[in-house]
Each structure stands twice: as C-alpha cells, then as structure tokens.
Amino acid sequence: MIQKTAAAAIFALSATFAQAEDRWMSIPEPAAMPEAAQSGTAPVNGIEMYYAVYGDSGGTPILMIHGGLAHGDVWSAQVADLMTDHKVIVADTRGHGRSTNDGSTYSYGLLASDYLALMDHLSVDKVHLVGWSDGANIGYSISQTNPDRLASHFAHAGNITLDGIDPSVETNEVFGGYVGAMAADYAEMSPTADGFDDFLGAVATMWGTEKPGGVDGLKSASVPTLVVQSEFDEAILMDHSKLIASTIPGAEMLVLKNTSHFASFQAPDEYTAAIRAFIDN
C-alpha cells in the first residue's frame, strides 16, 4: 500500500512538473529587433505613428499588426525570418509603443484608417496583413471597408462579437503577466510614459465595445483569409474562430497546437512557418 501511494505521489508530481513546462503557460521575452532598412514616424490622422520597414525584396509587402497594449517589436522573431525574402512593415498602433494619440477614442475603424494612411505614406498599395488579436480585428475592419488593399489576411486570435471572448481572461495569470510586461515596455517607449493606466482603460473600453458589422459584416468578405486559433487561447473561444472561418467565403482555419493567445512568442518558428505557408501559397 505504501509503495502504491508513493508511486502515485511520484506520478502526480511528474504530471505537475510536465504541466508547468507546457509552453502555453508562459510568455518568453522576444529577442531584439533586427536592423531596419527604414524607420521613423508618419503623420497620419492627427498623430505621429511609428513604423519600421525590413528587407528590400520586391513583391507584395507583409504588414504585421500587433495586439492590444503591445508594439511592433513583439514581432522580432517573425521579422528576422520573413525579411530575408519579403519586405516587412511593422508599426506601433495609435497610442501604443512609440506612437502618439490625439485624445481620440479608440475604435477598430479608427485604427484601421491609421494603417491605411500609413500604407499611403509609404506608397504601398496592397499588403499581406498578419494580424494578432487587435491586429486581426483591424484586419477584419479593412477587409470590410477596403478589401482591395489586402492581398491576404492571416488573422490570429481576433473576434467579431463580444461573445467570442472567454470571460475567464479577466483573471487569467498568463494574460495578466502580458499586461504587466506591456506596462513596462510602455514606460520605456511611450511619449506619455506615466500614462499606462489611462491607456489600459481606454483600450479596455474598446475591447468591451461591440464590433461594427459583426458576423454579417464578414459574409461578403473577399480577402483570402486564414483564421488562426491557439489550442489554449486565454482570450478567444475556439467556437468563435470556427464561426469566423465558416462565415468568410473561402476562409480556412488553422489551430496552433500547445500554444495560447501568445503563440508568436511561444512557438516563433512554427508561427512564422504558418505565415509563410499561407502567404507563399
């Protein structure tokens, strides 16, 4: 009996250790960004929007749009790979990272118009858009209003209705750790370094506002779209991503195994390979 109890305890301890090692339960810090071919700020819609361009290949550029509270540097692993044979554009969304805000209320329509204006500033007609979380939502907005500006949309962890959000995200420790990390980055990058709490509140208000168009808005979308869902996403429900994929004509869906909302940090090589497989085909 004692031997069986001891064996059971060892098994339980081993299982706990293995679970603690699961990559979806933590967020690795991204590496430093590679050297940009061009960077600066663009005057768009009353703000100064930070951007950087990597690589000098021809063809349709890749525009990578980060998630809420983050900044363009979170894409470092993907940029380092993709820039070898693509032109890659990253930017800091309005009020995020190094970009300013003019006091405007955050909305996905406004953020989409900022990115379209940035494309105009850079004389870029069309992009492959890689969007994560809020970046995917910005992509969905552009898909509805300016589909001619997108060659494709790699849409990871977006939502088109509020019921697509997992309510447990509000108390999730991994997501809370992300917020803390972005608060530290904001203090280092932002022109309003001490304003993170107000910034967080303003972005959270946008998160809690129903998206214009909703499900019906995507029924006529014409942009080739890959809906990407993480197996253990803390914020977006699997069934919601399935709904999006079934709503957009011709869309496909990819599930990233053993990753969470932060798959690009947790499995950077697999994430980049997925981008390549979609864009290059």
Q: What is the pLDDT of residues 230-281, one digit of tens each?
A: 999 999 999 999 999 999 999 999 999 999 999 999 999 999 999 999 999 8
**Residue-level pLDDT at 281:** 84
pLDDT over 70, % of the chain: 93
Distance CA 74, CA 189 (A): 13
* pLDDT single digits (tens) 78-136: 999 999 999 999 999 999 999 999 999 999 999 999 999 999 999 999 999 999 999 99
Tokens of 48: 């100064």
**Residue-level pLDDT at 8:** 38
Dmax (CA) for the chain in angstroms is 75
Distance CA 78, CA 130 (A): 10
CATH number at residue 181: 3.40.50.1820
Mean pLDDT of the chain: 93
**Residue-level pLDDT at 95:** 98
Instruction: At 257, give phi and psi (nearest 5°).
Output: -70, 145
**Residue-level pLDDT at 146:** 98
Residues spanned by the domain of 137: 2-280
By DSSP bridging, strand 47-54 and strand 88-91 are antiparallel
End-to-end CA separation in angstroms for the chain: 59
For residue 25, which of 172, 151, 164, 141 has the smallest C-alpha distance? 172
Average pLDDT over residues 157-178: 97
pLDDT band of residue 18 (cuts 50, 70, 90) is very low
For residue 233, which of 161, 157, 159 has the smallest C-alpha distance? 157
pLDDT for residue 177 is more than 90? yes
CB 117 within 8 A of CB 46: no
pLDDT for residue 155 is more than 70? yes
**Residue-level pLDDT at 233:** 98
- Domain total in the chain: 1
The C-alpha angle 165, 169, 173, rounded to 5 degrees, equals 160
pTM of the model: 0.93
Average pLDDT over residues 184-195: 98
Average pLDDT over residues 173-189: 98
Average pLDDT over residues 141-146: 97
More confident residue, 185 or 18: 185
Residue owning tokens 């907005």? 141
CB 85 within 8 A of CB 55: yes
pLDDT for residue 141 is more than 90? yes
Average pLDDT over residues 215-227: 96
